[in-house]
Structure 1
């Protein structure tokens, strides 16, 4: 088991922004199309965080042209170039799966006022 932990330590990113469930974030993702690479921005609400260590993931949800789109991103993936926090949300749940059933203003998360 120690050998697996050593290998996993190399893949762990040092700089991870402090974002939580309910926050609106912009995720910069590296996309490969044949020989070309580009960075695509996916903006939405963080609905879940799962796992720990190298296998930690987070789910981001947005509504695009009336269709709900969810993407799961590994936190320590080399394809995730950065996570920028747009606004902090105030929620009382660890998983926001109930947002899938909501439409319009009902699907909004209140902003956390500091």
Structure 2
């Protein structure tokens, strides 16, 4: 019983639609940063080395980049209100979910083999498709009313 209550609370915290991010993707994560009373947007671009709990409201990705020769990793909660947008730039062929071995590599050995993908289709949120579907439903309802009247 309490599990159902917790599930409802967790589902209420979820965003309506998020991008399907996988390990090996190069992503741009736009995050809100609060400085004093103001908010600004900061972009963090890097390789996703881990995806956790994809279907949960606690879905998380770990993104790694090299900044000034030093590896920097940042963890982002996908459903957090501070994560404004996640955009997939490149997709690579990988055979595991946790790419922690990239931490020990540098230079050419840290490269991943790129894979062709449709960047526009992948970055389009499924929320847009859901918004179009209800627009068609009233038209069908009108047709059934006309048939019932005849």
| TM-score of the aligned structures, taking structure 2 as reference length | 0.73
What are the superposed Cα offsets for residues 27-56 of structure 1, whole Å, 9 maximum, x if unpaired?
A: 000000111100000000000011241111
Looking at structure 2, the residues matched to 19 and 110 of structure 1 have their Cα atoms a distance apart, in angstroms, of: 17
Match of 1:15 in 2: 17
Greater percentage in strand: 1
**Is 1:60 matched with 2:63?**
yes
Q: Which has the higher contact order (CA 8 A, sep 6+)?
A: 1
Cα RMSD after superposing both structures: 1.0
User: Deviating runs (4+, > 3 A) in structure 1?
Assistant: none
Looking at structure 1, the residues matched to 56 and 103 of structure 2 have their Cα atoms a distance apart, in angstroms, of: 28
- Of 72, 76, 81, which aligns to 1:73? 76
Q: Which structure 2 segments of 5+ residues have no match?
A: 118-150
Could you say what secondary structure the match of 1:54 adopts?
Answer: coil
> Which one is further off, 26-35 or 6-15?
6-15
**Is 1:34 matched with 2:56?**
no
- Structure having the higher Rg: 2
Aligned length: 114
Greater percentage in helix: 2
